[in-house]
């Protein structure tokens, strides 16, 4: 028997007249869900499950020219932007790395 790891957040939300609920901002922050992001809705028995779409770019939610990296998708635009931005911003001063 498969056990679903259900953990209550203790948050109760009312559904409005259009069937909408608001995801608490704390949850959105923890799960990295931003305005405009798409969530896939699944069901498991009595449970309704929301999953972040993983087949869109992690950064800009584009679904064009995606490449996979560690089970996440990144579009070619963001990938090339990262490729040029990362070495310059992340590299430590050499005196910092050699003095320790
Ligand atoms: Zn992107």
Measure 78 CA to ligand 1 centroid, in angstroms. Answer: 4
Average pLDDT along the chain: 80
The reply to whether 2 falls in a domain is no
CA dihedral 29, 31, 37, 43 (to 10 degrees): -130
Same domain (yes/no): 49, 59 = no
Question: What local confidence, expressed as pLDDT, does residue 65 receive?
Answer: 87
| Structure-block tokens of residue 47 | 């449970």
Work out the pLDDT band at 15, boundaries 50, 70, 90.
very high
Counting beta carbons within 10 angstroms of the beta carbon of residue 59, is it exposed (0 to 12), middle (13 to 18) or buried (19 or more)?
middle
Mean pLDDT of 74-92: 73
* Total domains, the chain: 2
Say if CB 9 and CB 25 are below 8 A apart. no
Same domain assignment for residues 61 and 44: no
Residue 32 lies in a domain: yes
Return the pLDDT at 25: 92
| Span from the CA of 42 to the centroid of ligand 1 (angstroms) | 25
Residue 66 lies in a domain: yes
Task: Judge whether 4 lies within some domain.
Answer: no
31 & 45 share domain: yes
> Does the structure show a pLDDT above 60 at 82?
yes
Q: According to the model, what pLDDT value does residue 60 have?
A: 86
Domain extent at residue 77: 55-89
Residues 30, 41, single domain; the answer is yes
Contact 47, 41 (CB under 8 A): no
Outline where the chain has alpha helix (H): 25-31, 76-90, 94-98
For ion ligand 1, residues whose CB falls within 5 Å: 57, 59-60, 62, 75, 78
Give 59's pLDDT tier (boundaries 50, 70, 90): confident
Q: Which two tokens stand for residue 97?
A: 């790395």
pLDDT at 16: 96
Q: What is the pLDDT of residues 24-55, one digit of tens each?
A: 999 899 888 888 888 889 998 888 888 887 77
Q: Would you state the pLDDT for residue 20?
A: 94
């Amino acid at each position: 028997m498969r056990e679903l790891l259900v953990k209550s957040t203790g948050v109760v939300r009312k559904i409005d007249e259009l069937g909408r609920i608001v995801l608490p901002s704390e949850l959105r922050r923890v799960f990295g869900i931003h305005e405009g992001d798409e969530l896939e809705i699944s069901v498991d028995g009595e449970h309704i499950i929301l999953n972040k779409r993983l087949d869109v770019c992690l950064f800009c939610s584009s679904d064009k020219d995606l490449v996979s990296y560690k089970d996440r998708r990144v579009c070619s635009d963001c990938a090339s932007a990262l490729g040029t931005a990362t070495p310059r911003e992340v590299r430590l001063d050499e005196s910092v790395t050699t003095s320790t």
